[in-house]
Amino acid sequence: MKVSSVGEMRAMDRRAIEEFGISEELLMENAGRAAYEVLSREWGVAGRRYVLCCGAGNNGGDGFVAARHILSGGGIPRVFLFGDPDRFRGAAKTNFAILSKLPVEVNRVSDAVAIRSAILHADGIIDALFGTGLDRDVDGLCRKAIDLINASGRPVLSLDIPSGVHGDTGEILGAAVRADHTVAFGLPKIGNMLYPGFGLCGRLHVSHISFPPSLYDDEAIPVETNASIPLPQREPTAHKGSVGDVLFIAGAAGYFGAPYFSAMSLLKAGGGYARLAAPWSMTPFLATRGSEIVFVPQAETTEGSLSLKNKDTLLACARRADMVVIGPGLSLAEETQELVRELAAGIERPLLVDGDGITALADRPEILQGRCAPTILTPHPGEMSRLTDQSVSEIENGRIPILRGACADLKAWIVLKGAHSLIGTPDGRVFINLSGNPGMATAGAGDVLTGTIAAMSGLGLPLEAAVRKGVFLHGFAGDLAAADKGEDGITAQDILNYLPYALKQDREGLDEQIAGRYDVPLIA
């Protein structure tokens, strides 16, 4: 499903009205009706009391439509108006006028005390204060109302986005409603899908509000969710060399886990041949954990990291591989960092760069820009900061535009890890991945991701699809681990161990409960 910015949604509204003759009043009616459908399905309407907190813009107008439908359905709506009703324009003004003629209690709020009693005696609350147009911190009476809503313990339905969440970033503007359900209109907004906003939406629903597909599926919208990609079938005649032969250049003294998890995850995710080029002194210890890995021991520095003298040997190994992974646990030793730079410039196979490999290349963008074969980067926010020369806080508040800029500049596919991980492409598209959980914030989890992505390429998916599928299955394996063990205490080994089960369930078709975690249901 496509995910729009606030500006893109405004443009869609305009096109719906001007090109297709869908009036503003009809769009608002569809939005309010969709909200009512969620309300009716989740909590029921007849005989139930609902408080509607309505702002002075179109989000408030959507609330007026919902109030009218609640009344028609046998419920008891009480509308509390935040702002001057004389400010209403267009469809919001029309729907306010209609509501004023109905037996619905409408109160203009002058202090928070006026709504406290109503909220505490309500069966549910509809949040129609701000919608996606908010671009400043919430204060004054609206902030007090949000605090009351959050403290009430009553179920909350937010219209379009929880009030107080920035529609383009998901950040909280001072204070924000904590909803149990949110119904987004037209398309989910970026703020609905990125944390912390996503965590405040509760169960997210979407109504296309009668937009034609040419609007909500427009290829000009560059952001979408990371939808399911079918896994290729394994051929009956498959052998280890035909389902992925990957060279891993990884490991240094003190970093035994990273090379093991990255190479072993290729095999656990269905890949055939994992070759691990690690310092020779580490190899016997790694072999006791992963005897299925093929080891290519390498000369090391006095610090126990890979020596620059390995360059020609590693380039020759890379020519025999389908893909090369470089970086997990390599260390920041200068000689090894220079080895990474020279290898990245010389390797003519698809190259996945992670961890210390990203640090080695961060201040040498020309190496990545000059590569002829595809490049995949898998940074966490700190590594992304080094790649883009932006602070971590700037990245967290502008993840999508910064990611798009970096992909275009470096001519690379970039997986910006986090909740939710983002997959960016060189042509500017971004996919928001919905699998995964906080328990995966553990050492080694990113190393498992590298091998999982490489395995998807080995199974036959085109590179972009392999990156997307690898990110999804990595998160899915973590979700399966959390379902069995709980989120606390998940380790990289757990994620690794659940990879085969993730592939099995994916091939057999996710059951309804699991699939529901990774989609956004449509409301007609």
Same domain, 213 and 84: yes
Give me the pLDDT at residue 517, please.
81
Same domain, 161 and 264: no
Alpha carbon distances (Å) from 124 to 21, 94, 203, 373? 35, 25, 15, 56
DSSP letters for 371-435: -SS-EEE---HHHHHHHHT--HHHHHHSHHHHHHHHHHHHTSEEEE-STT-EEE-TTS-EEE---
For the chain, the C-alpha Rg in angstroms (whole number) is: 26
The arrangement of strands across the sheet holding 294-295 comes to 223-225, 430-432, 422-424, 413-416, 375-377, 351-353, 323-326, 245-249, 273-277, 294-295
Residue 239 in any domain: the answer is no
Per the document, the length of the chain is 524
Same domain, 24 and 146: yes
Helix H or strand E segment including 108: strand 105-108
Same domain, 203 and 269: no
Same domain, 84 and 38: yes
Structure tokens given for 395? 């990245």
Q: Which domain holds residue 163?
A: 6-224
Residue 388 in any domain: the answer is no
Give me the pLDDT at residue 77, please.
98
Environment class of 478 (CB within 10 Å of its CB; exposed 0-12, middle 13-18, buried 19+)? buried
CA-nearest of 472, 507, 1 to 221 is: 1
User: Which residues lie across from 83 on neighbouring strands?
Assistant: none
Give me the pLDDT at residue 514, please.
76
CA distance linking residue 74 with residue 71, whole number of Å: 5
Number of domains in the chain: 2
Helix H or strand E segment including 66: helix 58-72
Residue 421 in any domain: the answer is no
Give me the pLDDT at residue 86, please.
87
CB 81 within 8 A of CB 60: yes
Same domain, 218 and 256: no
Residue 136 in any domain: the answer is yes
Give the Cα-Cα-Cα angle 298, 304, 307 (nearest 5 degrees).
45
Count other Cβ atoms within 10 Å, centred on residue 29.
Answer: 21
Q: Is the peptide bond before 284 cis (omega within 30 degrees of 0)?
A: no
Same domain, 345 and 464: yes
The overall pTM is greater than 0.85: yes
Environment class of 449 (CB within 10 Å of its CB; exposed 0-12, middle 13-18, buried 19+)? buried
Using the structure block, give the residue that is written with the tokens 């459908």. Answer: 37
Same domain, 189 and 57: yes
Structure tokens given for 235? 């051929």
| CATH code at position 340 | 3.40.1190.20
CB 49 within 8 A of CB 123: yes
Same domain, 163 and 51: yes
- 8 phi and psi, to 5 degrees? -65, -35
Residue 77 in any domain: the answer is yes
Same domain, 136 and 11: yes
Residue 305 in any domain: the answer is yes
Per-residue pLDDT of the chain (524 residues; tens, 9 = 90+): 999 999 999 999 999 999 999 999 999 999 999 999 999 999 999 999 999 999 989 999 999 999 999 999 999 999 999 988 888 999 999 999 999 999 999 999 988 888 999 999 999 999 999 999 899 999 999 999 999 999 999 999 999 999 999 999 999 999 999 999 999 999 999 999 999 999 999 999 999 999 999 999 999 999 999 988 999 999 999 999 999 999 999 999 999 999 999 999 999 999 999 999 999 999 999 999 999 999 999 999 999 999 999 999 999 999 999 999 999 999 999 999 999 999 999 999 999 999 999 999 999 999 999 999 999 999 999 999 999 999 999 999 999 999 999 999 999 999 999 999 999 999 999 999 999 999 999 999 999 999 999 999 999 999 999 999 999 999 999 999 999 999 999 999 999 999 999 999 999 987 776 777 888 989 87
Q: Is the peptide bond before 420 cis (omega within 30 degrees of 0)?
A: yes
Residue 316 in any domain: the answer is yes
**H-type alpha helices, 208-251:** 213-216
Using the structure block, give the residue that is written with the tokens 């085109």. Answer: 462
Same domain, 182 and 309: no
Residue 423 in any domain: the answer is no
| CATH code at position 177 | 3.40.50.10260
Structure tokens given for 379? 């940074």
Same domain, 157 and 63: yes
